Amino acid sequence: MDLDKALGLIAEVPDFPQPGILFRDFAPLFASAEGFAAVTSALADTLDEDVELLAAVEARGFLLAAALGHAQGLGVVMVRKPGKLPQVAARADYELEYGRATLELPAGVVQPGQRVAVIDDVLATGGTVAAACRLLEQAGAEVSGVSVVLELAGLGGRDALPGRSVRTLHTS
């Protein structure tokens, strides 16, 4: 399956999780073996050659980074929502387009100097990815870049990531 057809599997759900938000549902894409493979392959092309670890942002980033990590022989660190980790290295609060949230990094997983790529599904306002980058850098890692499937350009996510290499498969 070509990438455009795979990306066409992402459904748009109006007014979720609250009125005025247009949610991008990746479930149909993940359910398609060919579509998921096409997206994983395309994401692999966005990574720097010297990446040592992938940072997956909860929750859909977990699926993308796990598939990508397996295909590329890379490990994956899961950047989690609060209350999910037994040992926390650091936590970061951030703004969403519809509220506030927090992410946590597991203790003892990211090594100082490690080159890490952040993987997520959607770049909207940029708050989630910026928080993940801060956590990784607090642990001493070097964020080599950010790779996402879909960028919502109208929400200005890149503005929250100045100086960062941001690679997207599709911008709308």
Residue pLDDT, tens place only, 65-79: 999 999 999 999 999
Report the 10 Å Cβ neighbour count for 75: 13
pLDDT tens for the 172 residues of the chain, in order: 999 999 999 999 999 988 988 999 999 999 999 999 999 999 999 999 999 999 999 999 999 999 999 999 999 999 999 999 999 999 999 987 777 999 999 999 999 999 999 999 999 999 999 999 999 999 999 999 999 999 999 999 999 999 999 999 999 9
Q: Which two tokens stand for residue 27?
A: 């479930």
CA 84 to chain centre: 18
Q: Which of 46, 54, 6, 56 is nearest to 26 (CA)?
A: 6
Report the 10 Å Cβ neighbour count for 15: 10
Tens-digit pLDDT profile for residues 9-44: 999 999 998 898 899 999 999 999 999 999 999 999
Report the 10 Å Cβ neighbour count for 172: 13
As a whole number of angstroms, the distance between CA 2 and CA 104 comes to 35
As a whole number of angstroms, the distance between CA 103 and CA 80 comes to 5
Give exposure, 146-156, as e/b (b: 16+ Cβ within 10 Å): bbbbbbbeebe
